[in-house]
């Protein structure tokens, strides 16, 4: 859902690379590789933080802060604080869409680490709803899919910008259909949402990777600007990964009985 961030704060700053006309292609390519590695490192570390928080909540008494359990110790759902923690990241994204352009590099990083830590509450819930074997299997499937899709977005010569509007329409459709299905509870509609969700977020991974690559050439990759740009890029990819993982888990995961 954070893809709107890409379209606003950093993209609208209109940075131009100093001396772009005199920088050699080899130097640009070297800087791009370093930037992409930084983005992927932020994303991977974010996933690790989310996973660590989720494991602690799912396997220790700390989980009682956010989750409800039956007298026999089985997971029974979220408590009030759990619901707040689950929806807090969405509120953070909405807030950042207005404030991101005024956030320093340090504030942006704090925002990112807080966001991924809060996501651990949702992941911890999934760890208890699905069997451990299927949870980790789908996670590694998602990782492999992400690697392939991101590599495609990075290396393809085809301009993927034309898919942007299509993907955004699909994303809006997922949100609207999900809200409708809360009231109608249709298994067929749930299935359709899952299929569309997989396709949309798979597309966004490739699309956003290419956009990160292209925007690097237009950004001033130094100082706080470089850090800020890398963190927002990592956040977009992180959100795409997590959404793809959750949709795949619906189809490939085995629920605890």
Domain-located, residue 187: yes
Residue 207 lies in a domain: yes
Q: What is the pTM of this model?
A: 0.86
Tokens of 252: 């490939």
Residue-wise pLDDT tens digits, 89-128: 999 999 888 888 888 889 999 999 999 999 999 999 999 9
Residue 78 domain-assigned?
yes
Half-sphere exposure of 14 (CA within 13 A, CB side): 0
- Domain tally, the chain: 1
- Residue 28 confidence (pLDDT): 63
What are 66-83's pLDDT values in tens digits?
Answer: 999 999 889 999 999 999
Angle (CA) 176 182 187, round 5°: 95
Mean pLDDT of 164-186: 88
- Give the pLDDT confidence of 16-37 residue by residue, as tens digits: 344 444 455 566 677 788 889 9
Give the pLDDT score at 86.
94
Contact by Cβ (8 Å): 76, 69: yes
In a domain, 123, yes or no: yes
Domain enclosing residue 201, as ranges: 3-12+22-252
- Give the pLDDT mean for 138-146: 97
Tell me, yes or no, whether 73 lies in a domain. Answer: yes
**Does any domain span residue 41?**
yes
Given a cut of 90, is residue 130 above it in pLDDT?
yes
How far is 151 from 210, CA to CA, in rounded Å?
9
Residue 257 is assigned to a structural domain of this protein: no
> Is residue 17 in some structural domain?
no
Exposed, middle or buried: residue 162 (CB in 10 Å: 0-12, 13-18, 19+)? Answer: exposed
């Amino acid at each position: 859902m954070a893809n709107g961030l890409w379209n606003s704060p950093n993209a609208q700053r209109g940075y131009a690379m100093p001396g772009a006309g005199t920088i050699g292609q080899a130097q640009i390519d070297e800087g791009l590789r370093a930037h992409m590695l930084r983005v992927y490192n932020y994303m991977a570390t974010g996933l690790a933080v989310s996973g660590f928080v989720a494991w602690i909540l799912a396997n220790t008494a700390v989980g009682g802060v956010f989750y409800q359990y039956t007298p026999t110790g089985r997971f029974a759902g979220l408590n009030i604080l759990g619901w707040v923690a689950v929806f807090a990241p969405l509120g953070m994204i909405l807030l950042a869409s207005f404030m991101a352009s005024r956030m320093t590099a340090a504030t942006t990083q704090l925002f990112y680490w807080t966001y991924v830590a809060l996501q651990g509450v949702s992941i911890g819930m999934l760890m208890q709803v699905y069997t451990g074997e299927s949870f980790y299997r789908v996670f590694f499937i998602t990782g492999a899919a992400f690697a392939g899709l991101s590599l495609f977005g990075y290396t393809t010569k085809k301009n993927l910008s034309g898919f942007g509007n299509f993907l955004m329409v699909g994303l809006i459709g997922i949100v609207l259909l999900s809200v409708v299905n809360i009231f109608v509870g249709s298994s067929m509609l749930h299935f359709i949402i899952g299929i569309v969700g997989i396709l949309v977020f798979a597309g966004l991974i490739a699309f956003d990777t290419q956009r990160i690559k292209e925007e690097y050439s237009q950004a001033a990759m130094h100082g706080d600007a470089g850090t800020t740009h890398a963190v927002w890029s990592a956040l977009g990819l992180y959100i795409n990964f997590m959404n793809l993982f959750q949709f795949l888990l619906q189809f490939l995961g085995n629920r605890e009985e």
